Structure 1
Amino acid sequence: MYQSFYLPTKIISGWGSLQELPGEALKWGGRALVVTDPGIRSAGLLEKVEAVLAAGGVACTVYADVQANPTIQNAEDAAKLARESGAQLLIAVGGGSSIDTAKSAAVLLNNGGSLADYVGFDRFANQPAPVIAIPTTAGTGSEVTLVAVMADPASHRKFTVGSTRMMPKVALLDAELTMGLPAMVTAYTGMDALTHAIESYTSITTQPLTDAVNLSTITSIFEHLPTAALRGDNKQAREAMLYSSCMASMTCNSTFLGLVHAIASPVCAVCGAAHGMACAVLLPAVMDYNLPVAQKKYAKIALAIGAADRSESERDQAEKAIGAVRRLSEEIGIPRRLGQIGVKEEQLDQIAGAAWNYPQALSNCRRAAKADVEALLRAIL
């Protein structure tokens, strides 16, 4: 079985690196559609991006209606506005919701039709319009991934549109843009990044290159997330989390994810919880479920983060890794139970049935039947 690692996205990082945006945008054209959400506008970040673009000679139109769980309609509305304004590229500013919407709209701009026509991988013919991604949260890492996760409110389901051709041309990591992020958003987006790293590290398609990146990322998140969440004005912690988020998602393109993400998608679809929050609540429980087959990897995590020492048994080390994840969640204020984020008992059968069929479940290190998923959900309801 062969392995591959592919990253066509140019990554620009550093404090104040937003100033590089006009030069990168002009490589793809002088007119852009900025895709963002109401929170970015109200926080003043959109105005800052617009000013940098104007100073650099890039004209832009703004689509600022992206929802927390972005929908087919968000992508189609953004594509329509891009077409009407003559945009030659899309600039996503925000979290994964804005970036995924921009990636989806870029597909529609050059291929037409409805986003529902392209569910799955490589379902479109034409190269999408170029996308520059500027993350303002340290969590999803969508700025370097080959997928967009979108919602269909009519069916209460999330779905994936994916292709290496959808990967942004540029990821611009300026931690200054994350400084105003609220503590709880910092907490659950950071736990999303940790979930990416742990699920990628234990995936059935893991490889030595991704193992090295993921173990380093996990260590960095344990070191810096509490500070970023609880003392949000700490520049070092903010930068470290933004890099960690990007690194974790770089590996997911090659390894895919696991059961946390398979369950989180239907959880968000049925109760409207934020993706990162759902992942954060689910992660310790899924780690418990995966322990019989992931013991060796979990033990390595425990040693890397200093939660265990080499004199202990591998099983004890692995259990301490799971305990460390639980303590980290508690320290930064993550709820422990699904009921606290809006999940109801009558929804568990629907969630379990959907999760079992999500593609992320196929790369989980331990196979899970629908009954396994439902039992896991009930244990943390």
Structure 2
Amino acid sequence: MSSTAVSVDSSDRSDLDVDIQRDARAWSRFTGMKYTRALRLMKHPLAHGILGERISARKLIAVLTEHPVLSEPVQDDDDTGAFSSTGERATLLGRSGLWADETYPIRMSSEDSFIELVLVCEVLRMFSTIDEPTSDAYSYNLKHTAEELFSEWLGKFSHVDNGIAIWAAAAIDLPMSDSSPGEMSPNANFGLDPQQVEYARRMRRNQRGSSSSIRAHHHRPPGYLYLQSALEQFRTTAETPARWNGVDEQAEPLTSPFHEWLVAQVDPSGERGDFGSRENLAYDYRAGVLDNDHGVAMHPQDLVRILVDLHAAAEFVDAAREAVLDWARTSPDSQGIRTELIDEERSSHGGWGAGDGTIERFEYRCPCGNGTILEEHDNIPGFREHSPTIMCSKCDKEWQQVPGAPAYGWRIEPIERAVS
């Protein structure tokens, strides 16, 4: 994970100092905290901005009465009893969420309260945003995700109120809506990638020893690893790293041409299909990707490996093998395929006078399954030879090596397709 240290010249530093001082004065007025305490708080290492720009205290205060989900117009009545808007707005946010300002008002008198709010902003920043709020990314779920993350690295922030999660989302301008309009629900929905939200929820439970397991990480939130690293560093050194550069350098791919080809074969009606059928294979494969049970098949042969690793029924493994061959025969995106490794052997060789070497033999399943593809490498000084050979009379007539492919990275393609 890398970070980008931002060079700050003297004029920028001066502007930053002024912003921090203004935030400190605003927070002091808002909470009743002494200015010196508020100023120290604005300079806290965790408040510098880990996954994005520093969170402005003035912005935090403003959204309480300016955000349409967190506030409502103030009404006043005249002598006749008629109500009219005063032009002002009042917050309806309390500790337990929306519509809780009177029963559970938010109090931010302690320094920890501010740091907790800023950290929840960072947790929400680690996800990718989407245009519209979704019920799959709702405040009460995400407040638990924040709690479980903090409990691992920062024990004293292990409780987060639902209202704090909503406040943080508003402060970083996430798309947001009341989860149940007209019902005065305390929860809000956010515009965050639902697959990433589910990944984070399950991962935190994994950290606590849950039986739930994640075997692939293509839905990991982009800022997830960097935020964890930053919190770990703070716990150890009381300092935080340079601001994140916005790139998850360990991100796993979300798609491939073969993946798209296969999932397009899911029954449009949503039916799972007959056991072991192509539709059934595509349905279960797509479900496994969505649930992080396995990764995306970047190459056709990955599909067979995934199913073997999952100890899938023989019918599904056979269906996967047939799908790989079908892809090679019919898809314009196919660049050839590799087959399954079934045996390998390495041995030393005394050489032919120019030094010792090795001989490597790899046997792969042939397309029809009744023969093999033999890959041999004579790594002997003065006598180097590399030769993949189709050792099946049937497949040798139907398949050929893709021209130009390296010896260790051979691929085969149908002869008829190659000629056409």
TM-score of the alignment, normalized to the shorter chain, above 0.5 = no
Q: Which structure has the larger Rg over C-alpha atoms?
A: 2
- TM bin (shorter chain): under 0.3
Query: What is the TM-score normalised by the length of structure 1?
Result: 0.26
Which structure shows the higher helix fraction?
Answer: 1
Which one has more relative contact order, counting CA pairs under 8 Å at least 6 apart? 1
